[in-house]
Structure 1
Amino acid sequence: MNLPIQTEAGAPSTHSSLGARLLDMLVIAVGAQITVSGEGMPGHAGYDSALVAFTLLAALLVFPLFGLYRTARTHLFWRCVCVPGIVWLFTLAGTTLVATVMHRPYHPALAWFSEWALVSGLGLIACRLLDSAFSLHRADQAASYRSVAIVGSGMHCRHLLHKVDTTPDSDYHVATIFDSGPDLGEPPGSVPAFRDREGFASYVRRYGIDELWLALPLSEERTILEFTELFRNDLINIRFIPDVSNLALFEGEMVNLGGTPAINLVGSPISAEALVQKEVFDRLFACFVLLVISPLLLAIAIAVKSSSRGPVLFTQRRKGANGKVFNIYKFRSMRLHAQTLGVVEQAKRGDPRITRVGAFLRRTSLDELPQFLNVLRGEMSVVGPRPHAIEHDTLYQDIVDNYIHRYRIKPGITGWAQVNGFRGETDRIEKMRGRVEHDLYYLSNWSFWLDMKIVFATIYKGLVHRNAY
């Protein structure tokens, strides 16, 4: 269950103030100004000012999406040096690419541009290192860590312990556990564990434990009341973290509904903020890729057109996010043929309908490249569950558990299932079940860095695959 570890007493330190963002804007603007060469750039001064202004605007929108205003207490090198540097270069490259496309004659002076990127990047990194150093000093002085005693057992309790141990910047540490399990097996975790209530209560009082977390199923109302009564005269925070693993599709994440807390039993596990972050990356990445591969797209289009009669692009209706139907683009790889209404016949090995050019395109996955147009249009994502024909959706949603929940996010050009071998024809129900299991894992564990891992895995493993035919 993916409940937040930080509560009101230990909220994450987030610099959402206007001052923190203005400081970044100042660093970027000053970096651009102090690196202007004495020779200047004849004919391009206006465009340079526009590029700086456009980059400042983009940074205001992009930086918060990647957590650049969250104070780092752990993994300082990664979070204070690597991430700001990567996001800054990513933002600068994106704005420069857009400026170049909009103003074809424009090319920024390489010396000035490189110095600006370096100076402003170092300034952004320095600000974060200083901010983290001051924050850590303040945190040490305030002794912000809070000790926790947990009442629970089984996988839910182990998962909660793991979340506390692995959550970056967690303000809590688990001091002891009361094992409420029915058997006398190995207690969860490596911290002191009790089965005697009075001994547990004595330990909590002796060491001044700050919080008591009741990690119990909803059916354990009696146990919840007993421990609430046991500590009724103690100034200790008591929090209920229910085990809904038997009810929730994903991890039963806590959400805030207009000030009212709720637990997601069946709902998208990816937050609206994360979806915006994913959308920004998708559009910029698709724009960059389409510009780079445009000569290749033209060459493939000519080859497809000359291989057999018919259109260059093949379109098919697919379901997108929340079941919204769209037309997916592919390079045509088959000869024109009659199709039975409502029936989609998947390509098979040695399929006579496939042209020679089409066979090469399918083996190398080059037929999928036009789907970057779908990404640019906002219908697909770079990474996500692969979309299936609507007829297959109708078939599988009744025989594969939780199949329909693949469409809680936009479908992708590549995905977690594809880089783990689940691609190509789904001629057996086991193949589809495996694909859906991987898709649901992706939904439950999504992060920007998981997307990057999948993109690099797609490139590293190559576009050619034995199941691509």
Structure 2
Amino acid sequence: MRRQKGRGIKLAASDLLNAADENQKRALAEARRQGAPEGGDGRSSWISPTVIRGTMRTAETALIALSGLALWVAYVDDFSRQSLIYYLPLIAIGAIAVPALFELGGLYTIHALLRGVEQLARVMLGWLTFFAVVTATVFLTKIGVAYSRVWLVAWFVAGLVALTAVRIAASALIKRWNTDGRLDRRAVIVGGGEPAARVIEALRASPDTDITIIGLFDDRNDDRSPPVVAGFPKLGKIDQLVDFARKTRIDLLIVTLPVAAEDRLLEICRKLWVLPVDIRLSAYTQKLRFRPRAYSYIGNIPFLDVFDKPLSGWDHVVKIVEDKIIAALLVVLTAPVMAAVALAVKLESRGPILFKQKRYGFNNELIEVYKFRSMYVDQADQAASRLVTRNDPRVTRVGRIIRKTSLDELPQLFNVLKGDLSLVGPRPHATQAKAAERLYTEVVDGYFARHKVKPGITGWAQINGWRGETDTEEKIERRVEHDLYYIENWSVLFDLYILVRTPFSLLSTKNAY
């Protein structure tokens, strides 16, 4: 009987564990479904509130200035020096002062922008306040004769209509983003048990956190880390988190482990730093205290910054604008060259002009990269499992020329316009690329950290001589070092410097076959 009873206890425990595993799998699948990136391209769909506020300020500044200028040109029709002295400064003051009044009144917060219609009275009050001050100033200084009363009234009405229209349109758009969850950062808690529960409850009680917690990941399976913490499920172990973040939109990782657990923290950070997300260490439950300015805050909860997502906020916007504008210009400028290369490829050997290859892109997403075909069509290596070497018989005569000069990569400008590539960034590598017969991921620890930004047509490594064949482990190690340096030190000027240097670096064809 004892043996049967013991066996029954073991079976019951096994059933409970299996049930817990099934619940965890279901929770993990649901979290992945809810956080699936739009369009399946792996790019985060979170929209920075900083960008929204800045865009609104810029739009309203432009509307105020343009409405005043348009009416001055259309009605006043006086471009004398005296007219310029009186009208242009007043228009400039209005374009600066009114957004400043809106800022002081809290009209650029996400909360205010979401309630666009309800906030119209405050918008009107700010606009009316400016004109009241203008009217009083004109009257007291006796310069009323310098201004057209029709123009002033028309500017007041036109500006009010424009501001009202943009507020209503912006409110509708921002409400849709809010409904889609694009204004909230999707966060994962790393750690479990009581410390995680205390952080979650503090975030719940903190106002305006813009955080949506979707679950927890923890390696522990004992009483210290139950399957549900403060209402949120444990979705898996730390090793599973990297794969989860590759397939799901994650913006923030909150680590709730104590600072005293130094070895465990270092191990977790070593695994997670390759992800393009913000990583924060909770200081809420820590006994060790630093000076207030050492912390960043979510709501009123203190955190220590461990890693920041590169190219976020305005940097992300600037990078996109830079890519689109310069790539479009380069397509126009290089169109004759691309036409000539396409004709040469077609005339020399049968097969398609373009070669399309799967490579790793942002956040390890597979993208299809375009190149002019440089190999015989029946010897093409889609996975690049065998690197091209000097006098490689698979390469055509035209192929040798365009590979040495990198003309084969000109079609990647269309990848940039499509949004898969950037002009400057770590070069995208083929899935089976090797260095000294070892996959790149086996050679370089943390290799995938170079995928925290979009890959580029050219990069810091390429202009420093680390392009072409990687027949030794040192070559891929140096290339990755340069890629990580670029990610950590990005700026527009850095990009422009690399772009200017790229044509000169192509003169060196030592490693290009």
Q: Could you say which structure has the higher helix fraction?
A: 2
Larger radius of gyration: 2
TM value normalised by structure 1: 0.47
TM value normalised by structure 2: 0.44
